[in-house]
Amino acid sequence: MDSEDEEAIYLKPRKKVAKDGTVSWLARWYDPQASNPVRKVVRSKSFRTKRDAEAYQARMVLRIRQGTYVDPTLGKVTLAQWWERFLETSSVNLKPSTRETYSARMKVHVLGPLGRRPLATLTRLDIETWIGNLTREGVKPANIKAAHSVLRRVLQSAKDVGVIGTNPATGVATPRVPREEMRILSPAEVEAIANEVAPRYRALVLLLAYGGLRIGEATALRVASMDLLRGRVNVAEAFSEVGGRLVLGSTKTAGSRRVVTLPSSITHALREHLDRFPPGPDGLVFTGAKGGAVRRTAFYHRVWIPALRRANIQGHVRVHDLRHTAVSLAIMVGAHPKEIQARAGHSSITVTMDRYGHLFPGQDEALAARLDALIVAPTDDGWSTVGLGESGKVVGLYDKRP
């Protein structure tokens, strides 16, 4: 950018004398982002010295040249105000349950300490201090991580439209989240629970424990989504509870849409269930006592907890632990991680291994054994190490034959 271009961007600092004789200097520049079609929009900022005004103008020119310029007046919008705008615009593609979760996290952990702050004043240090305060207040690491994730997304939306130049929440470390303890049930425990729930929920328990569906996916199954001749269920929808309302929507992720093949015993249990409890008008496989959809919260308190007591199942066991049990049992019978990913509907193999990698026993030992099969071969004298010769043929490492 030459001097003529720079002159087109900003004006010379202007000296300003107040009534009491105080002198200040205004850094002035033309806002390249302004959309006034009639005349250029002049921005300014006051400084005590001409040198400070000139230095600030130089920074404005540099940012305009680099394409990182942001109108300073936009940053006066507070985080609370921008959050309201985010809800109206950027969150339109969020599932209702996700939107409700975001709102709760912002209300409980973010807006109180940071809501009144203008966006342009928020710094990385502010975000780190906020996280430190939450930690000292005893907020669980998982909740801090979740709140930070929402805040980072909200601030990123402000950055994307040019309200702020950088996202101060990006790259900020959060407390390490300890691995969530999974309660893996044995087949005998699963059967005991299935026997203690009301008969209309027996097949649901078995489906969760051996099919690995999420509770919202299972309760959203319709007769049309099942092929009991082939023992398959098509997982394409899921129920979620939003503000006390039951909402039917898509599955958790695109990868969660899947077809799950069931053991024949579970297919048989589903057939018996449909014979005894015909589907409702909307074709739902599982319904409550009054014929409506099964609500997760009501099922947990009114069906699940009493059944655990009657079955004498010790410890804290969640309905979601049936999904963990399904994955664990599949691993026990030799399922490959990619099979687990597809069956559980994980978005990537990384999710599968991060969550269940520790349940794959002896993987390293099995790999070593397979490598042994490549590098150890029998000879007349017992066993000898082998390798690749110059021609690519497998020969003894100490055998000089080509």
For residue range 258-267, list pLDDT tens digits in order: 999 999 999 9
More confident residue, 50 or 357: 50
* The predicted structure's pLDDT at residue 402: 46
Supply the CATH number for residue 126's domain: 1.10.150.130
Does the pLDDT at position 75 exceed 80? no
How many CB atoms are closer than 10 A to CB 203? 25
Tell me how far apart the 2 most distant CA atoms of the chain are, in Å.
Answer: 108
CA angle 131, 104, 73 (to 5 degrees): 65
pLDDT at 36 (0 to 100)? 54
pLDDT at residue 1 greater than cutoff 80: no
Please tell me what DSSP assigns to residue 362.
T
Q: Is 86 left (phi over 0), alpha (psi -120 to 50) or beta?
A: alpha
Question: What is the Cα–Cα distance from 240 to 3, expressed in whole angstroms?
Answer: 60
Q: What is the mean pLDDT of residues 236-246?
A: 84
- Identify the residue with better confidence: 362 or 22: 22
Domain-located, residue 264:
yes
Together in a domain, 265 and 386: no
CA dist., res. 252 & res. 249, Å (int): 9
Domains contained in the chain, number? 4
Q: Which of 250, 108, 213, 85 is CA-nearest to residue 157?
A: 85
Percent of the chain with pLDDT over 70: 83
Kind and range of the H or E run holding 378? strand 376-379
In this model, does residue 349 exceed pLDDT 60?
yes
Q: What is the mean pLDDT of residues 161-176?
A: 89
Q: What is the pLDDT of residue 373?
A: 67
User: Are 252 and 276 members of one domain?
Assistant: yes
CATH value at residue 230: 1.10.443.10
- What pLDDT was estimated at residue 241? 83
Residues 250 and 333 both lie in one domain:
yes
**Which pLDDT does position 13 carry in this prediction?**
86
Q: In the predicted model, is pLDDT for residue 370 greater than 80?
A: no
Please tell me which of 72-81, 341-350, 355-364 the model is most confident about, judged by mean pLDDT: 341-350
Both ends of the chain: CA-CA distance in Å? 67
Average confidence (pLDDT) over 121-135: 95
165 within some domain: no
Q: Is the pTM of this model over 0.75?
A: no
303-332 pLDDT, tens digit each: 999 999 999 999 899 999 999 999 988 888
Tell whether 130 and 225 lie within a shared domain. no
Mean of per-residue pLDDT scores for the chain: 84
Indicate whether 227 and 296 sit together in one domain.
Answer: yes
Q: Is the pLDDT confidence value at 380 over 70?
A: no
pLDDT, mean of residues 344-365: 76
The DSSP call for residue 317 is -
Domain match, 49 and 104 both:
no
pLDDT in tens, 14-72: 888 888 889 999 888 877 766 555 567 777 888 899 999 888 888 887 877 777 676 66
Could you give the CA distance from residue 355 to residue 352 in angstroms, rounded to a whole number?
A: 5
- Position with higher pLDDT, 35 vs 275: 275
The pLDDT score that the predictor gives to residue 246 is 83
Same domain, residue pair 267 and 336? yes
| Residue 180 within any structural domain of the chain | no
Whether 207 and 345 share a structural domain? yes
Q: Are residues 53 and 12 in the same domain?
A: yes
Residues 124 and 155 in one domain: yes
pLDDT bracket for residue 282 (50, 70, 90): confident
Name the domain boundary from 358, 373, 390: 358
Return left, alpha or beta for 302; rule: phi > 0 is left, psi -120 to 50 is alpha, else beta: alpha
Whether residue 96 is contained in a domain is answered as yes
**Residues 322 and 368 occupy one common structural domain:** no
Q: Is residue 197 part of a domain?
A: yes
- In this structure, are 94 and 29 located in the same domain? no
- Give the structural domain span for 378: 362-402
